[in-house]
Amino acid sequence: MKRIIALIAMALTSGVYSQQMPQYSQYLRNQFMVNPGAAGVYDFVDVTIGGRWQWIGFGDEPRTAYLSVTSPITRKQKPRYNPSLRISNGPVRNPEINTGKFKHAVGGQLIADQYGAFRKLQVSGTYALHLPVTKKMNLSFGTRIGLSNNIFLRDKAQVLNLVDQTQTYTDNTYNSFAADQSSKYILDIGAGLYLYSKKLFIGLAADQLTKDLVEFGTGSANFNNQMHFVGTAGYKIPLNENLSLTPAILAKFMSPSPVSFEGSMQLEYKEWLWAGVSYRHKDAVIGMLGLNISERFKFGYSYDFSLSRFKDVSGGGHEIVLGLMLGR
């Protein structure tokens, strides 16, 4: 009999069911990664490059790399040279969130996600429509369509032979995935609503709405795509002229898994330097920090302190994010 050892069992249960979509510790700084409705909130081209490495020390740890781009669709303006944008002469405040006007926006994502013996490459495009609710608040609806390539890497599936004198075991899940080098292309469609102002945001998004309805490729493995739902909410509280505090919550659901919650608290200094902490229920405590390096660049780093049953064999996780703001 063949049994997939702890990592592959974890990938099949956590990966194929509860972690089909990557999770991001710094979602507060890039809402577009969890909600297509957040595309175009800022009135410039927002480029984000990130990398995430989970459960360090476990072996074949989950790793995610991503690139996202969002931009409002506006009339072209002649570029103007501003020498002050080359370097920072001091604290560089966050860009303004403008509301009270109608606008369109587009975006795109490229994501590479590998966990154990599974690899997922995804490319997608997004369109979002922003409608003014009041002068200080907008409601955006975004839709995303993409294609993902899901691969089972048989050489990564470590197995353990067990001897039992009384009965014979079969592992149908492993046999199905290991029968061939499966590689499937699956259509991914997502949608999201995003209500926002300078201080408040409330989002609701859904991914993999068509599951595996449109699928083609080779192999017999069933990657069993399921709908994922994500809700976010947060409010920025000014403490004084230099400090602000933003409590936020993220909730995720995918049947048949229970709802998972993540609570966050982010402190900002002069809208330039920020630090935060999050608690992901029964999974991790996350410490975060970052800053606006200049009018063009921003940087963020987070570390996940594992609280799960794998904490004794895991060194936690890192996430590094670099942002580029074009046309501020």
Predicted confidence pLDDT, tens digits, the chain (328 residues) = 333 333 333 333 333 344 578 889 999 999 999 999 999 999 999 999 999 988 776 666 788 999 999 999 975 555 554 554 444 566 888 898 999 999 999 999 999 998 777 889 999 999 999 999 999 999 999 999 999 998 887 776 666 555 555 555 566 666 666 666 678 899 999 999 999 999 999 999 999 999 888 888 877 777 788 899 999 999 999 999 999 999 999 999 988 888 999 999 999 999 999 999 999 998 899 999 999 999 999 999 999 998 877 666 667 889 999 999 998 8
Residue 16 confidence (pLDDT):
38
Tokens 């360090």 correspond to what residue? Answer: 56
CATH architecture of 2-326: Beta Barrel (2.40)
- Are the C-beta atoms of residues 205 and 192 closer than 8 Å to each other? yes
State the pTM of this model. 0.84
Per-residue model confidence as pLDDT tens digits over 205-239: 999 999 888 888 877 777 788 899 999 999 999 99
Question: How far apart are the C-alpha atoms of 255 and 156, rounded to whole Å?
Answer: 27
DSSP 3-state assignment of 43?
coil
Both tokens assigned to 47: 């480029």
Q: Which of these, 174, 193, 192, 170, lies nearest to 182 by C-alpha position?
A: 174
Specify the amino acid at residue 66.
Answer: Y
Two tokens at 319? 């996430």
Could you tell me the residue ranges of all domains in the chain? 2-326
Structure tokens at 280: 């992901």
User: CA 82, 86, 90, 95 torsion: positive or negative?
Assistant: positive
Quote the DSSP letter at residue 236.
-
Residue 66 makes CB contacts below 8 A (sequence gap 6+) with 22, 33, 48, 49, 50, 51, 52, 109, 110, 111, 112
Count the neighbouring beta carbons within 10 Å of the beta carbon of residue 328.
15
> Can you say how many angstroms the Cα of residue 137 is from the centroid of all Cα atoms in its chain?
25
Query: What pLDDT score was predicted for residue 77?
Result: 52
Cβ–Cβ under 8 Å, residues 109 and 146? yes
DSSP run (H or E) holding 9: helix 6-10
Check residue 62 and give its pLDDT: 82
